[in-house]
Amino acid sequence: MLTMKTVETTSELKNALDELDRALGFVPTMGYLHEGHLSLVQKAREENTSVAVSIFANPTQFSTDEDLANYPRDIERDIELLAGEGVDLVWIPTVETMYPEGYQTWIEVDRLSTILEGSFRPTHFRGVATVVAKLFNAVSPDKAYFGQKDAQQAAVIKQMVRDLNFHVEIIVCPTVREPDGVAMSSRNIYLGEGERLAARCLSRGLFLASDAFQGGERKAGELKKIVKDEVENESLARLQYVSCADPITLIELEKEVKECLISMAVFIGKTRLIDNLRLGK
């Protein structure tokens, strides 16, 4: 295939998929692509004969007081970027295609969806699991690529894939960061100039915790305190949570840790940012 195909409906998608050679790598996105997304696409390109990308700002993973309406979009730029990466197929479904009238089926990953991000965004992972299952069924990929930036999302999806017997391998790729350490996110566009500088406190806290870990610190409480102190030193930032958890089950760890996922959510002004770092592996 020489040119990238862009489709909207599920029947167009099916026809386009029939023309693609296996193995098929798949990168689901909400659009407004940055280097983080493109690193997933590049990995998919390396590991598969064909690559499909979806662009869909999924309404069911936003709560009514969240930022769906203002979620940044630039489909033309996205398409250009994906063509530049040698993607074969881009699927851009409408909300009506994904959730037609009478839609009523939901996937719940019980325990993993209720903790950390889920405790502040109670219906978020239900929306994520449901739309990802739909995308997997519609696209039938061999491998699907997600970012470590959304560590809990990756854990929820891996659990769903295992539990529901999906035939797809989940590949989690490293978080891509700006030169100053800030994790790439479509939501960084919301930040004013001062806020963008303040946003450095997330990764700064994580890197300090990592340094302490390298230096022998193993107490979960101490590692979290390092992150907390760093955020609290930043006047524009408000820490929502910091966690030190088992990297697979996301169960909160106490006392001495061998390996862990340090994760956090921070408000910078009105913008909610998340970041994480895996230690000890």
Q: Can you give the three-state secondary structure of 66-83, one letter per residue?
A: CCCCCCCCCHHHHHHHHH
CA pseudo-torsion sign 161, 162, 168, 170: positive
Q: Which of residues 221-280 bind its own copies (CB under 8 A)?
A: 249
- The secondary element (H helix, E strand) that includes residue 267 is strand 260-268
155: contact with its own copies by CB under 8 A: no
Q: Which two tokens stand for residue 253?
A: 């760890």
Q: Which two tokens stand for residue 59?
A: 């309404």
**Between 13 and 265, CB nearer to its own copies:** 13
133: contact with its own copies by CB under 8 A: yes
Closest CA to 77 of 44, 34, 45: 34
124 belongs to the catalytic site: no
- The secondary element (H helix, E strand) that includes residue 28 is strand 24-29
When binding is defined by CB under 8 A, the residue of 164, 174, 194, 254 that contacts its own copies is 164
Give me the least distance between CB of 135 and its own copies, in Å please. 8
Closest CA to 140 of 61, 22, 59, 12: 22
Give me the least distance between CB of 26 and its own copies, in Å please. 13
Contact status, residue 132 vs residue 161, Cβ threshold 8 Å = no
Query: How many Å apart are CA 125 and CA 130, to the nearest integer?
Result: 8
**Between 108 and 232, CB nearer to its own copies:** 108
182: contact with its own copies by CB under 8 A: no
Query: How many Å apart are CA 208 and CA 176, to the nearest integer?
Result: 18
Give me the least distance between CB of 215 and its own copies, in Å please. 34
Give the contact letters, 75-114, x = binds to its own copies (CB under 8 A), - = no. ---------------------------xxxxxxxxxxx--
**Between 99 and 207, CB nearer to its own copies:** 99
Give me the least distance between CB of 208 and its own copies, in Å please. 33
Give the catalytic positions in this structure.
Answer: 37
Binding site for its own copies (CB under 8 A): 10, 102-112, 129-130, 133-135, 137-138, 140, 159-160, 163-167, 249
